[in-house]
Amino acid sequence: MESRVMKLCCQGCGADLQVTEEVRFVTCNYCQSKLEIVRDASVTHTRVLEKLERTTERIAGNLKVIELQNDLERLDREWETVRQGMMSRGKDGHLYEPSTGSAVIAGVGGGIVGVVVMIGSIASSNTLGVALGLGIGVVAVAIARRSFDYAESFQSLEGRYQAQRQRMIRAIEAERRR
């Protein structure tokens, strides 16, 4: 059985093409466009494949950007959950991030209170007061040390979050430039 030859027009340059019925893809001899032979119910025509490939690549790039943006939003939400869980509530009810500076100030303040109680107790020969002042100082330093470590932990987590966030932003920008 012999194949029937069909006449088509190149969508790239308009040149006449002759192809057999079983051909699905062809390259134009004049403009070198890669073409798909499209057979619809009422008409047969050609379609330039490079445009489809470029469109597909562009859509894939856009999808990658959207995926990276979603990852960035997820990272931000996760960090905000961690951040809120580590916040301290002040006397006025406002939330504050843990700070190494406030931990040091609290430790020094508590230590000073302990020393003042000890000095007052020594001046009045009150041995119980000396022990109380020493206890206040030790507790203040221990609480300050714990608060300082907590604040450092917070700062470390925040630093890792910020570094990851910057990497993701650079990846999004790089993908957009493609």
Residue at 57 is within a domain: no
Residue 61 in domain = no
Q: Which two tokens stand for residue 118?
A: 């000890």
CA angle 151, 154, 159 (to 5 degrees): 125
pLDDT at 88 over 80: yes
**pLDDT of 17-37, one tens digit each?**
888 888 888 888 888 888 888
Please give the full DSSP string across 22-66, using - where no structure is assigned: T--EEE-TTT--EEEEEE-SS-EEEEEHHHHHHHHHHHHHHHHHH
**Amino acid 49: pLDDT:** 67
Residue appearing with tokens 């430039």: 177
Residue 73 located in a structural domain: no
31 and 98 belong to one structural domain: no
* Predicted pLDDT of residue 69: 96
62 is a domain residue: no
Domain that holds residue 15: 5-52
Nearest-angstrom CA–CA distance, 37 and 46: 5
Joined tokens for residue 41: 């119910």
Residue 143 belongs to some domain of the structure:
yes
**pLDDT of amino acid 53:** 67
Question: How confident is the model over 103-159, as pLDDT tens digits?
Answer: 999 899 999 999 999 999 998 888 899 999 999 999 999 999 999 999 999 999 999
On whether residue 95 sits in a domain, the answer given is: yes
- Say which residue, 37 or 83, is predicted with more confidence: 83
Asked if residue 91 and residue 48 are part of one domain, the reply reads: no
115 domain-assigned: yes
DSSP 24: -
- Split into its structural domains, the chain has a count of 2
From CA 35, how far away is CA 48, in angstroms rounded?
A: 5
Question: Which two tokens mark 160?
Answer: 């890792």
What is the structure's pLDDT at 75? 97
50 has a pLDDT exceeding 80: no
25 occurs within a structural domain = yes
CA distance 23 to 8: 12
**126 and 47, same structural domain?**
no
100 touches 88 (CB < 8 A): no
